[in-house]
Structure formats: C-alpha cells, structure tokens
Amino acid sequence: MILEARSVLFQRGEKQILQDVSVQFDRPELIGLIGPNGAGKSTLMKLLAGVLPCDGLITLGGRALQTIPAPLLAQHIAYLPQERTVHWALNCQEIVALGRTPYHPGLFRGPVREDDQAIETAMAYMDVHAFKDRVFKTLSGGEQARVLIARVLAQETAFILADEPTNGLDPAHQIGLMQLFRRFVTDQQKIILVSLHDLALASRWCDRIILLNKGSIAADGDVADVMTKTQIGSVYGVSTAQLIIGERPLITPVDLLKQ
C-alpha cells in the first residue's frame, strides 16, 4: 500500500507552513524527517496521518485520506504526536490498550485475545511492564514517552508516523527505539517515518532522509546524498563531522558556521 502526498499546501492564518510538498512512501523503510525548527515537520506528519485537512491531495492506496473512515485509517496508519498530554486518569496498560480501539469502533468491550497479545508485546518492546499499573500522569517524561510509543506499537499498522519520539529518552532508550524501528522495517515490512532533531540518530539508523526547509522539501534520498556538509550547512547553519561505523555514516553537528 502506498501513502502519497501530491502538491500539498498548508496555511495557518497569513503564514504559509507547507508549500507544494510532494512525497511518496511505497516500500519498507525507516525514513528520517529532518529540518530546523519551523520547517513544517510536525505539520506534514499531521497531514499524512489525516489529523489536519490541507490543500492538495494525500492518498492511501490511491484513496483520498479524507474519504477513509477514521477507524479504518487508524488500522493502517499509527501516529505519535509530540504532545504527551493525557486527560484521563488511566494507568499505563490502559494507555497502551488504546492502540487497539481502531479494531473495535463504536463498541465498548474489553480486549480480545489478539488485543491482549499485541498489548503485552508492545509493552515488552518498550520496557514498561514495571509501571503498567501506575497512573500515566505520575510517570517521568521519559517513561511517558515510552508508554505512548508502546500504544502506537500495539496498533499494529503498516505505517508508523512518529513525531520526535526520542525526545525525553535517555541515550540507551533512544538507540533501543531506533534499533526497534529498524527491526520492524526488516522483519515486519513496515514503513516508518520519524521526525528527528538529532542528526546523528537520523544518519546512523535511517534508510532515507527527507530534509524540510521553510515549508518545502530541500532534499529527499539516502543519507549520503541528503546530509552533505554543504546541504546541512545551508539549511541549519552548522558545520558537521562524519564517522563511518560499519558501512553506515554517523553525521553530527560540530560548530556554527560564520555568517
């Protein structure tokens, strides 16, 4: 199944957030969405998830997103927003179980056996069993992030759209999450789009990089072609250094470029 945006525009008030964005996701990949603050990364994520309407066309399997019922769309696309606000006094296991609601639309019922297995597996992946009975709001920011990622994993979709999922995680859990995403791409043939501020994580783990700048796609391709010194310097205003680990590059910012 293909998720595609064609000539997408989005405006908020007088401000143009995205302009003429076209992008396609058609094969299992871990895709890093990078760009400076205000580039439009979160907005693009919301549009691809069907959370916001837009001008232009976004399709899933050739069908316009706005024509797909929300529960059916959520069986194909799981979306993890930056915001971690939960308005109910739910414990962590109940939060993760919300990932199964698209499969039981309009029906108030407890989880069936398949749901229990998906919830258990997702919690194990994210190492959150130790506080499964604690109220979500009592957790630290990093613990909350892991629970919300587990909710997305429990949804068991072909597409995962994760907006800055590594924020608030310690280095071990950041690397563990990126390794997990890589495993899902390889073993379960998922398509995962993850927005990242950490250029090292993006270059180290992603198959493909989409570089957004000022609401437009500045580059889209593999790490070596997109994350060049010239291109990163132009968009971010920083110099970079590169290491090769195995056969993969690791690119990290070093200093501000002189204006």
Q: State the CATH number of the domain containing residue 255.
A: 3.40.50.300
Total domains, the chain? 1
Per-residue pLDDT tens for 17-69? 999 999 999 999 999 999 999 999 999 999 999 999 889 999 999 999 999 99
Beta bridge partners of 6: 57
Q: 202 exposed, middle or buried (CB, 10 Å; 0-12, 13-18, 19+)?
A: buried
Tell me if residue 215 falls in helix, strand or coil. Answer: coil
102 inside domain:
no
User: Which residue matches tokens 């132009």?
Assistant: 234
25 inside domain:
yes
Which pLDDT belongs to residue 105?
Answer: 66
d(CA 29, CA 195): 14
Per-residue pLDDT tens for 63-104? 999 999 999 999 999 999 988 778 788 999 999 999 999 998
Task: Please enumerate in sequence order all residues whose Cβ is within 8 A of that of 58, keeping only pairs 6 or more positions apart, or say none.
Answer: 3, 4, 5, 6, 8, 47, 48, 50, 64, 65
d(CA 83, CA 153): 17
Which pLDDT belongs to residue 109?
Answer: 53
133 inside domain:
no
Q: Which domain holds residue 6?
A: 1-68+197-259
- Positive or negative, the Cα torsion across 165, 106, 89, 97? negative
249 inside domain:
yes
Task: Please enumerate in sequence order all residues whose Cβ is within 8 A of that of 8, keeping only pairs 6 or more positions apart, or say none.
Answer: 18, 20, 21, 22, 44, 47, 54, 55, 56, 57, 58
209 inside domain:
yes
pTM of the model: 0.94
